[in-house]
Amino acid sequence: MKLSDYVADFLAKQGIRHVFAVSGGASVHLIDSIANHPKIDFVCPQHEQAGAMAAAPFGLSEIRERYRVFRQQLSTFNEVLQSFAGTTIYGYGAAQMLPVLAYHMGNDLASLMAILDDDPSRDGWYYRNLIPPIRYSGTITDLQMATVLVTAVDNIQPILSKLLAHRPRHILIPFNLF
């Protein structure tokens, strides 16, 4: 099961019955999981303005409340991440959505030593708006003593399998997905 399927299930368990989303390359897995979820009606407007007008009957106050809850979850997670300051922390997974996650957390992830990725060709790359470098995961030898933040939340299953094999001190997941 993909993380995007978990997210769709999580949304359904929160009582969300309608999702209005403009499709794009970075969100294709999430949109596919939402569109195929049996308890969620997916609406794909042509652009953001059409989506806002289509969602209006569902209550702007409800949308604002759910967004507030989302922001609160990320704020709380940011506090958890900050509680590990001064220790070795890695991110795992150089995903396309990582800058969006960091933006909503209000954190440039400077506390991370690096963002680990299984693609050796990404070694030494950087995100334009984030501080930690991307490092090839095969070169890191101190995972057992480190805290690892799952930064590719759309690929959580294989990442968790790898991390459990390496047994880091702590594994942090930014959303309550399970």
Q: What is the pLDDT along the chain (178 residues), one digit of tens a residue?
A: 788 888 889 889 988 888 888 777 677 888 888 889 999 988 877 777 777 777 776 666 777 787 788 888 888 888 988 999 899 999 999 887 788 888 888 889 999 999 999 999 999 999 888 999 999 999 999 999 999 999 887 778 889 999 999 999 999 988 765 4
Q: Please check whether residue 81 is in contact with residue 106, taking contact to mean a CB–CB distance below 8 angstroms.
A: no
Q: How far, in Å, CA of 124 to CA of 85, rounded?
A: 23
Q: How far apart are the C-alpha atoms of 77 and 126, rounded to whole Å?
A: 23
pLDDT for the residue 109: 92
Beta-carbon neighbour count of residue 32 at 10 Å? 16
Distance of CA 167 to the CA centre of its chain: 21
Neighbours of 107 (CB within 10 A): 19
Q: Where are the domains of the chain?
A: 3-58, 74-172
- CATH number, domain 74-172: 3.40.50.720
Amino acid 178: pLDDT: 47
CA angle 19–23–29, rounded 5-degree value: 85
Assign 91 to helix, strand or coil. strand
Contact in structure between 153 and 3 (CB atoms under 8 Å):
yes
- Taking the C-alpha atoms of residue 50 and residue 89, their distance in angstroms, rounded to an integer, is 42
> What residues contact residue 101 under an 8 Å CB cut-off, 6+ apart?
74, 151, 153, 174
